[in-house]
Amino acid sequence: MEEYRGGILENVHSGMICGVGEDGQVIYAAGDVEHVALLRSAAKPFQAIPVARQNIAETFGLTSREAALFAASHRGEVYHLEALESILSKTGIREDELLTCPTYPLNEEPKFACLSRGVAKRRLFHNCAGKHLGFLALSKERGFSTDDYYKQEHPAQQEALAAFASLADYPKEKIRLAVDGCGFPVYALPLKHLAVAYMKLACPDLIADQPTREAVQKITGWMTAHPEMIASHRFICTALLTDPNIIAKGGAMGVYGFALKKERISFSLKVLDGSEAVWPLVIAGILEQIAYSNKETIARLHALSSKEIANDNRLIVGEKRPVFVLEKQ
């Protein structure tokens, strides 16, 4: 992606894109598809698999809207907080059991509302709170320890890692691990295998293990039914998930995964400077290049990020140009 101001090249966002078919083979590429990327929150749908396998939503009487938060990066809107507090109430989990650090909502409006009313920072405001609640509920239900539920060696974390490795068709022992912003283990592996894993989310018939397949169907069902819970209005994950043909989730520092159900094509991408602002135009460019039929979805992406650059007075002073070309493999 190139950005021009007054016809002068001002900024370049470089990266790589990988597209795979249902057989896991690369069919589209721009850049190095073997680039090792940290998934960050793009891993959340996979990390929710042991939670869904254990029927945590059913056990505690959670609605699908509440359960969607297990795979979400919520933005702290009122409807997010209401659902999170309902999960606390139904599971008996205390807010201080969450590892997530107290913070303010990510979205400006609820953050300003907290500041103007003198509301203190809360662990539930953290965008990963839903994921943490899922692991705490799973640990309580299975009799696992809860004071170290976030550690790499914890049995719930090991189950999540194994589930992800299976969907990615990548050896568990080869997945590199670091620590995410919220304290959870974060996975790193080649972009190609992230795309393979997202293919399984969109097309669970490709998953041989029945309990895992059924868990994935639950998770993606929650995400599709309640896209506003996965991020919020005017955010790309919600915009993409509004299309029932798409499963999508992004992570910090520019990594993104999405898949098309009917077309049985999956993509992963990494913006090397970590920018998330260019995601809508990049993904719109991908969909346009493969001639995706749902023009409304592409229009929603362009509405999130215009190709035009406006200054503070809302005068058009430049443009953004997607310059990548997907090469058929």
* pLDDT, position 130: 98
Q: Which residues pair with 12 in a beta bridge?
A: 2
Contact 189, 257 (CB under 8 A): no
* pLDDT, position 16: 98
Q: At the topology level of CATH, where does 2-328 sit?
A: Beta-lactamase (3.40.710)
For the chain, what is the HEC assignment? CEEEECCEEEEECCEEEEEEECCCCEEEEECCCCCEEECHHHHHHHHCHHHHHCCHHHHCCCCHHHHHHHHCCCCCCHHHHHHHHHHHHHHCCCHHHCCCCCECCCCHHHHHHHHHHCCCCEHHHCCCHHHHHHHHHHHHHHCCCCCCCCCCCCHHHHHHHHHHHHHHCCCHHHCEEEECCCCCEEEEEEHHHHHHHHHHHHCHHHCCCHHHHHHHHHHHHHHHHCHHHHCCCCCHHHHHHCCCCEEEEEEHHHEEEEEECCCCEEEEEEECCCCCCCHHHHHHHHHHHCCCCCHHHHHHHHHHCCCEEECCCCCEEEEEECCCCCEEC
Closest CA to 195 of 4, 10, 8, 25: 25
* pLDDT, position 248: 98
Q: What is the pLDDT along the chain (329 residues), one digit of tens a residue?
A: 999 999 999 999 999 999 999 999 999 999 999 999 999 999 999 999 999 999 999 999 999 999 999 999 999 999 999 999 999 999 999 999 999 999 999 999 999 999 999 999 999 999 999 999 999 999 999 999 999 999 999 999 999 999 999 999 999 999 999 999 999 999 999 999 999 999 999 999 999 999 999 999 999 999 999 999 999 988 999 999 999 999 999 999 999 999 999 999 999 999 999 999 999 999 999 999 999 999 999 999 999 999 999 999 999 999 999 999 999 99
* pLDDT, position 90: 98
The pTM is what?
0.96
Q: Which residues pair with 321 in a beta bridge?
A: 2
* pLDDT, position 269: 98
Residue 43, CA distances (Å) to 10, 167, 184, 258 in order: 33, 12, 11, 12
**Neighbour tally for 234: CB within 10 Å:** 12
